[in-house]
């Protein structure tokens, strides 16, 4: 009996195995195969971006129907960033590369062009947002160097244009998800409009003679004219090194003349020179302005472009004598709807 049982079990086992093989074969040959998560992922438009704020803007439009890779790690100097070999592979596999442009990401552009994929598209957001005669050159980005100040995204009106450009490109390249991208963009654009208006109102609370920015890293060239502030200077020279003693002396003179209550260092660029300037000119130094690193940690609601701008406004407007009440009810969290 035991032998017969063993035999029976063996036959049943064989039937199960054969059935399983037939089942697998039937599934893969079937007219309507059930897609596995892996195949869904590979069907998504592969999008590669550069700095974190731009990655976050793209995420809010593309949601989870694009496969998104941000290349510049947060806290890394985006102006001198160079790709690692693994990043080059991501660029080579991409359908679409979305960068700021205005010569910020020359290394990504070089790799994208070298990938030799005729259908790989590159969307340069800043180049599509302003014309050449609107480029800003200044102390840190001098005209003779040929590279304009690239920091358009700190002007929320420009960030709105970025989101619209991203929406239009995703709709063009992936029309099957057009409605989804448009609905995401509508919600996100409404949030950006509120942010833009809130910053406008908040800057108005700074006494007029104090609406002046002296920063270490020169990120505010496009922000200032939008919101009625004036960039009176930047400390960082065009080679991203330290200024000369003569340059430091003239900055100190300027701060005394302009009577600004605070000057601004940057989260990414640590500099002892700013502390020295603040001490000699007897002004407060705020160390926390950021242009390409999002606050907090991934997954937290404030770890977004909007969250970065809200934090920047608190750190900028309050030390200059204003308040950010007009921004207090803005939720910085991502607004895209997920499928899962």
* Residues of this chain that bind Zn ion (CB under 5 A): 291
Helix (H, G, I), strand (E, B) or coil at 228: coil
Measured from the CB of residue 166, what is the shortest distance to Zn ion in angstroms? 20
Q: How many Å apart are CA 133 and CA 114, to the nearest integer?
A: 30
Q: Which residue is nearest to Zn ion (CB)?
A: 291
> Which residues partner with 28 through β-bridges?
none
Residue 306: phi and psi, rounded to 5, are: -65, -40
Q: Which is nearer to Zn ion, 312 or 335 (CB)?
A: 312
Measured from the CB of residue 232, what is the shortest distance to Zn ion in angstroms? 18
Q: Which is nearer to Zn ion, 74 or 291 (CB)?
A: 291
Q: How many Å apart are CA 292 and CA 158, to the nearest integer?
A: 15
Q: Identify the helix (H) or strand (E) that includes residue 207.
A: none
Q: Which is nearer to Zn ion, 104 or 317 (CB)?
A: 104
Measured from the CB of residue 150, what is the shortest distance to Zn ion in angstroms? 7
Q: How many Å apart are CA 252 and CA 90, to the nearest integer?
A: 46
Q: Which is nearer to Zn ion, 283 or 293 (CB)?
A: 293
**Angle at the Cα of 26 from the Cα atoms of 20 and 28, rounded to 5 degrees:** 105
Q: Which is nearer to Zn ion, 180 or 220 (CB)?
A: 220
Measured from the CB of residue 112, what is the shortest distance to Zn ion in angstroms? 21
Q: How many Å apart are CA 317 and CA 324, to the nearest integer?
A: 7
Measured from the CB of residue 334, what is the shortest distance to Zn ion in angstroms? 23
Residue 316: half-sphere exposure toward Cβ, Cα within 13 Å? 29
């Amino acid at each position: 009996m035991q032998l017969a049982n063993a035999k029976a079990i063996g036959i049943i086992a064989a039937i199960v195995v054969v059935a399983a093989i037939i089942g697998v074969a039937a599934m893969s040959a079937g007219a309507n195969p059930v897609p596995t998560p892996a195949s869904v992922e590979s069907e998504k438009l592969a999008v590669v971006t550069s700095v974190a704020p731009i990655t976050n803007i793209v995420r809010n439009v593309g949601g989870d129907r694009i496969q998104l890779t941000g290349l510049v790690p947060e806290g890394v100097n985006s102006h001198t960033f160079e790709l690692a070999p693994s990043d080059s592979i991501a660029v080579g596999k991409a359908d679409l590369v979305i960068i700021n442009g205005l010569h910020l990401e020359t290394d990504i552009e070089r790799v994208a062009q070298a990938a030799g994929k005729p259908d790989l598209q590159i969307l340069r957001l800043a180049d599509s947002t302003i014309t050449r005669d609107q480029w800003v050159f200044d102390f840190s980005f001098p005209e003779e160097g040929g590279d304009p100040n690239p920091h358009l995204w700190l002007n929320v009106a420009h960030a709105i244009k970025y989101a619209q450009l991203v929406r239009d490109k995703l709709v063009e390249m992936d029309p099957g998800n057009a409605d989804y991208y448009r609905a995401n963009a509508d919600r996100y654009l409404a949030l950006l409009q509120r942010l833009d208006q809130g910053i406008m109102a908040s800057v108005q609370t700074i006494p007029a003679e104090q609406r002046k920015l002296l920063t270490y890293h020169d990120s505010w060239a496009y922000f200032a004219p939008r919101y009625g502030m004036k960039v009176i200077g930047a400390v960082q020279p065009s080679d991203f090194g330290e200024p000369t003693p003569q340059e430091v002396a003239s900055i100190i003179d300027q701060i005394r003349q302009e009577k600004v209550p605070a000057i601004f260092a940057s989260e990414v660029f640590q500099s002892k020179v700013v502390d020295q300037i603040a001490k000699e000119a007897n002004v407060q130094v705020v160390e926390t302005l950021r242009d390409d690193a999002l606050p907090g940690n991934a997954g937290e609601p404030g770890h977004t472009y909007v969250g970065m701008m809200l934090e920047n406004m608190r750190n900028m407007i309050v030390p200059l004598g204003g308040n950010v009440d007009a921004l207090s009810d803005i939720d910085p969290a991502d607004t895209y709807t997920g499928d899962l």
